[in-house]
Structure formats: C-alpha cells, structure tokens
Amino acid sequence: MNCTGPIHKMATRTGHLFDFFVTSGLAVMRTVAACGVLLNTQEGVMEKEKRVTARPVNRRSFLKKGVLAGGAATIGAGFIGGKAFAFPQDNSSRPSKGDIAILRFLNAVEQIETDLWLQYAELGGVQDSTIPGANGGNPLYVGALQILDGDMAQYITDNTDDEISHVAFLKAYLESKGAEAVDLSPFATIPGSTAQGSSKKLRLTNLTQLTVDTSYWSRYRSITNPDVDRGAPFVQAVPSLGVGRHTAIPRTDADTAGSSLSSDNTKSITTHLQAIAFTAGFHFAFIEQGGTSLYPTLAQQVSNVEVLRVLLSIGPSETMHFQTWQDKAGNALPLSDTDNGPGGTGAKVTFTNLAQAQGETNPESLKGNTLQANLIMPEPTHFLDKDFPPVAIIRPSSTENSGAMAAFNSLMADGLFIGQKNQEFFQVMRNLAQEADSARREGNGRDE
C-alpha cells in the first residue's frame, strides 16, 4: 500500500474528510483507511452516522428532496471496512447567495447561446414551429451544411430548442426562489444577416466576424490537460480560423450567389459558401465545448443540493451537443477560400482532410498535435495530479480555465460581440461572471 502517493497526500490536505470521500469515491476511501488517515476521525464519523440515520424519514419528503428517487440512498451512502455510513446531506431549503449568482450567470450565458443558435436555425435549421420566426430558411446554406452531414438541419434545430429550454427553465427556477432573472434583450442591437431566410432582427451576437479557437480539437485528443499541464500546447484543427474575421452564416444573398442544389452539392455549391458552412461546423463545436466545461466548473461551487442537480442535469446536454458537432465538423472537405466578395473581410481560410491528420502515438504525444477526425471520444488525460493514471474526463474544469469569467472572455475573443456599442452589456456580464466565480460552497463541502 502506497501511503506517500497522491491519494494519501490529497486526503491529508483535506480539512473535511467527508468532502474528500464524496470527491474521491469508494476505492480511494479504502486506500485512505488502510494508510491510517481515518484513525483519528473514526469516532466523529460514527457519531455523524448516528445523528443522520436516527433522523426520521418521511417517504414523501424523501422522494421530493432526493437527488434521484431511486438512487439517493446509493449516492448518500458508502462503506469503510464493511460498515455503512451516510454522507452529510445539504438540507437547506433555499439556494445560497452564491448559488443564485451562479444561476444568474448561466441564465445570461444561455441567452447568448440561444441568440446565436436562433440565427443558425433561421438560416440552416428545419423550418418548423420549434424555431420562433422561422421564415423558410436558406436552402443553399442548408445544402452546404449537408456536405458535413445530411441531418445537419435537424441537429441545428434540436440544439436551438435545447438552448431555448435552458433559458426558460433557469428564468422560471430563479423566480421560483424569489430571485431576479437576467434579461439581456435590451442589448440586442447588432445587425444580423439579411440573406434569404433571416428574420432580419437585431441580435445579441455577431456570427459574421468570428475568430474561432479550434484548439479544443486537440485538447480532447491529448493526454495533456490545461488544468494540470500548464503551458501545454494544443494545436488548432483549423489554424486559419484563428486569424482574421470569418463569417459562419450568409450575410446577404451575395454569399450564396453562384450556388445551386444538385445531386452533388460539393460541385454545385461555391467554395465560398462551403467555407462558410464549414466555419459554422467548427464554431458549433467551439460554443458547445464551452458549456461542456462551464457547468461542471461552477457545480463545484454550489451549496444547495437542488441547485447542484440543476447544473449536473443541464451540463451533460451541452456535452452531447459538443460531441455531435465535432463529429460533423470532421467531415469538412479540403478547400481554401478568401472572403473578398461584397461585405467580405478579406479573411483567408483553409480546411484540410482531418481524417488523414495526426493520429495517436505510442508513447502518447505531449505536443497536443493529435487531430485525427474520428477520435471523438475524450482521450484519457492527466487529472488532479500527474501521479494518477490518465482518465477520460471533461476538461478543463477549473475556475481559472473554464469558470464564468473565462467563459465570457472566450466568447468575446470569438468575436461574438463585435458591433455591440453599449458598454453596459460588458459591465453587466463581467459583474455576473465575477459574482459567479466568487461563489463558495457552504457547509461541509469545502475547506474553511
């Protein structure tokens, strides 16, 4: 038994042993127990057990308040040396001030997501009642997107519908707790697309001048983790998307001019419109990988069990979106384009065949240069401490790299708010982000 390794070090650094148990799991508990870490705390644990298990349980209350009606007992109990004990439960009926701050930031950022997805859906989604203001779509843009996958229109609509539901739920939930929801609609002042299918509304986000960071592609294919391997490189899947300002939607009908639909859209749709659609494909994944990290990062700072359940339930839907989109983006065809037409920015982009890109190596590369398209499952990576074996996880999940402020800064660097002239918007979002990042888990969940 290794009593000087990372498990022992982590346990002895933890002020609240229960927090360590909840975080690390049964196997770790047994290791810690064998190393003697529990010797001075066993009496306190048993006393805690007596207090928790002696409390009368009302079945209706249990079903209502449990994390999952069928699994709450499993989540809340464990074994050490063959003896059962109960983890401490958060019985507070109201979210903490920090919980509300986290929910308000998420309410705001989901509005930003919804705004951009509505633009994608108006032009490239299925045109049904799911999309407010659906106006027939843009068939040529849909055709270009279908080069990536024949079901792109349905996926876009479904993703949009999901984001709309997140906004509605978080608003209703905040208000049910007596808290004020966030309303960013007064800041929808950015002119959007005027191409066929657009509602031509003023927008909260700008999809026509993007600088897309595609390093997420190699990050999820690498053994290195930005939370653990500081300064580790992660190669861009499409380096040229990170330079200049690129449009991911047709700005006007000039961007679709010269294209037509046929049995082979790769030949009948212009290189320019294909480049716009491929840019959108990589941008879809960029947006959703942000949410994939944001929710588990903020969940670590939540105090109230019900609020934790909210974050742990919404967050994985962002992950499902991300995996779908990176799979589709990997189907982009090799091509180059310069945006020099009407309304063009002069940006140059080159897409390569990622199916033939750098694959896995043995030993695994520390250069963050694995780009093979079909490696869409997260590669096991360093987590918490390099002494642990690599594990397949969401990454990053630290406040520094994927907290609220990091998330908002990433959206700004993406170019989403170019054209937003009201500086109050940026102040509102920064305040919300700072308050969310400042939230601290109360009670037994965090070292004091």
- Token look-up 């010269």 returns 258
Q: Provide the pLDDT for residue 3.
A: 52
Render the burial of 340-365: b for 16+ CB within 10 Å, e for the rest. eeeeebebebebbebeebeeeeeebb
* Integer angstrom CA distances of residue 204 from 184, 291, 319, 415: 8, 18, 24, 12
Distance, CA of 63 to CA of 69 (rounded, Å): 5
pLDDT > 90? residue 113 = yes
CA 206, 133, 289, 359 torsion: positive or negative? Answer: negative
Q: Provide the pLDDT for residue 442.
A: 87
Tell me the mean pLDDT in the region 267-296. 98
Distance, CA of 343 to CA of 254 (rounded, Å): 9
pLDDT grade, residue 365 (50/70/90)? very high
pLDDT > 60? residue 282 = yes
pTM of the model: 0.80
pLDDT in tens, 172-218: 999 999 999 999 999 999 999 999 999 999 999 999 999 999 999 99
Q: Provide the pLDDT for residue 135.
A: 85
Phi, psi of 71 (to 5 degrees): -125, 0
Tell me the mean pLDDT in the region 224-236. 98
DSSP 258-287: T----S-HHHHS-HHHHHHHHHHHHHHHHH
Q: Provide the pLDDT for residue 92.
A: 52
Distance, CA of 305 to CA of 10 (rounded, Å): 24
Q: Provide the pLDDT for residue 24.
A: 41
Tell me the mean pLDDT in the region 242-259. 98
pLDDT in tens, 136-181: 999 999 999 999 999 999 999 999 999 999 999 999 999 999 999 9
Q: Provide the pLDDT for residue 130.
A: 81
pLDDT grade, residue 358 (50/70/90)? very high
Q: Provide the pLDDT for residue 192.
A: 95
Tell me the mean pLDDT in the region 386-408. 98
What is the percentage of the chain residues whose pLDDT exceeds 90? 76
pLDDT in tens, 18-49: 343 334 444 443 443 444 433 344 444 344 44
